[in-house]
Amino acid sequence: MLGSTLSNDPLADKRFDFQFVNPPYGYEWSKDYDAVTTEAARGFDGRFGAGLPRKSDGQMLFLQHFIARMNDAEDAQSYIGIIMNGSPLFTGGAGSGESEIRRWIMENDWLEAIVALPQQIFYNTGIGTYIWLLSNRKPAAHRGKVMLVDASGDSFWSAMSKSLGNKRREIGESHKQAILDLVKARQEGPHLKIFDATDFGYREIKVLRPLKLRFEVTAESLARLDAQSAFKNLAVSKKKAPAEQKQDEKEGLALQAAIGAVLQTLSGKTYMLRDKFTAALESSLKKAGLKLKAPVLNAILAGIGERDDAAEVCRDSDGKPEPDTDLNDTENVPLKEDIQTYFAREVTPHVPDAWIDRAYCDAKDGKVGRVGYEIPFNRHFYVFQPPRTLSAIDADLKASTDRILNMIGGLTK
């Protein structure tokens, strides 16, 4: 049957016991955009209620499609086996479409296992691929658990006698049985690890640090002021008539000059607290008979102020520290860990003046920090390979040097 399942589902009224599929990797779904976004707007009444991945890769749209075609758990059991590349494991940060799809799958406890396959087993690509195994009825002992199975090693494939495009390896019957035995046994070992589904979840918290500014009127700070749009626009007229426009620009230039003259009266002094500089500036402006609008005042503060860790913290009208937006950062806190405990251990020792942005909350549960899910498969099977000894490296270098010298010697004979 031709066409795109994403925009035209001919089996919308069907449910299936078994679905085994290999959707296209990196499918650009722009052609399906209107149909997919319209259906996504229906939430979970449609197939794409969990979220939308980036338009350059539709694999997780196909994954949602097949989940929507599972039986209701009360009616009958359903299984899904879907082969995808590595990007659905980790692409997209907290709150992204990809992360929200992974979250939906984990929170509904559908994911049984992910099996890493050998590379170079497909005709058109040599990249690593993974089988996601999902079920709507997990065994009681496995509920809330996810298996990661590494079947990418040498014992799970054999070399082909002749390559077919990128396909240089094949998974024989004995290899298939070995992989199946691993999954069925559900026993941890070198090739299989079992995790709680929440082990893959985290809260992305926003870390704020206080704004600290030093104020000095110098040639450099006046140049920064000249670059501030609110200050520059004083000499830019919005009048339509040429005569009015010229007069407007003349008055703006005069105001810029007057502000510059006021600032010169403050030169030679260093202010380590913004409030003190602001008070001195407003006093000087008043003496000069100038009354500036808030955008221009803010432009002066932004231009003259320079970040300095030795300066005092800038505070708002309620006395609370103002965050320095250039220093905003994030931390991923494992779901199983208390945010404050993590922060005290991992952040405070390095930046004692930092704090957690309590307004940065998850859209679903309303708690501090956005929930994200990712599956760092390779990290869990990484085996450290110690570096070679210096003597072994020296021996190789000497052998290479001797070989080169012999070649050069042969040329001179």
207-239 pLDDT, tens per residue?
999 999 999 999 999 999 999 999 999 988 888
Give residue 413's pLDDT. Answer: 62
Could you give the 3-state DSSP secondary structure of residue 146? strand
Could you give the 3-state DSSP secondary structure of residue 189? strand
Looking at per-residue confidence, does 248 or 32 come out higher? 32
Confidence of residue 138 (pLDDT cuts 50, 70, 90): very high
Give residue 152's pLDDT. Answer: 92
Euclidean distance between CA atoms 117 and 125, whole angstroms:
13
Pick from 55, 35, 47, 37: nearest CA to 11: 47
Tokens of 339: 């945010």
pLDDT at position 127 over 90: no
Domains of the chain in start order, with CATH, are: 18-202 (3.40.50.150), 213-307 (no CATH)
Q: How far is CA 326 from CA 104, 210, 329, in A?
A: 33, 10, 9
Give residue 166's pLDDT. Answer: 83
Calculate mean pLDDT across residues 160-179: 90
Tokens of 143: 């509920």
Give residue 244's pLDDT. Answer: 83
Looking at per-residue confidence, does 167 or 40 come out higher? 40
Strand runs labelled E in 223-327: 270-271, 305-307
Compute the mean pLDDT over every residue in the chain, rounded to the nearest whole number.
93
Euclidean distance between CA atoms 51 and 196, whole angstroms:
23
Percentage of the chain modeled with pLDDT above 90: 78
> Residues 305, 307, 313, 318: what is their CA dihedral angle, to the nearest 10 degrees?
50
pLDDT at position 385 over 60: yes
Calculate mean pLDDT across residues 266-275: 96
Looking at per-residue confidence, does 327 or 242 come out higher? 327
Residue 77 is which amino acid?
Answer: Q
Euclidean distance between CA atoms 397 and 259, whole angstroms:
69
Give residue 26's pLDDT. Answer: 83
pLDDT at position 353 over 90: yes
pLDDT at position 1 over 60: no
- 115-140: b or e for each residue (b if 16 or more CB lie within 10 Å)? bbbbbbbbeebeebbbbbbbbbbbee
Calculate mean pLDDT across residues 138-157: 94
Percentage of the chain modeled with pLDDT above 70: 99
Q: What is the pTM of this model?
A: 0.84
Give residue 126's pLDDT. Answer: 78
Euclidean distance between CA atoms 182 and 175, whole angstroms:
11
pLDDT at position 165 over 90: no
Pick from 27, 17, 123, 31: nearest CA to 73: 17
Give residue 164's pLDDT. Answer: 85
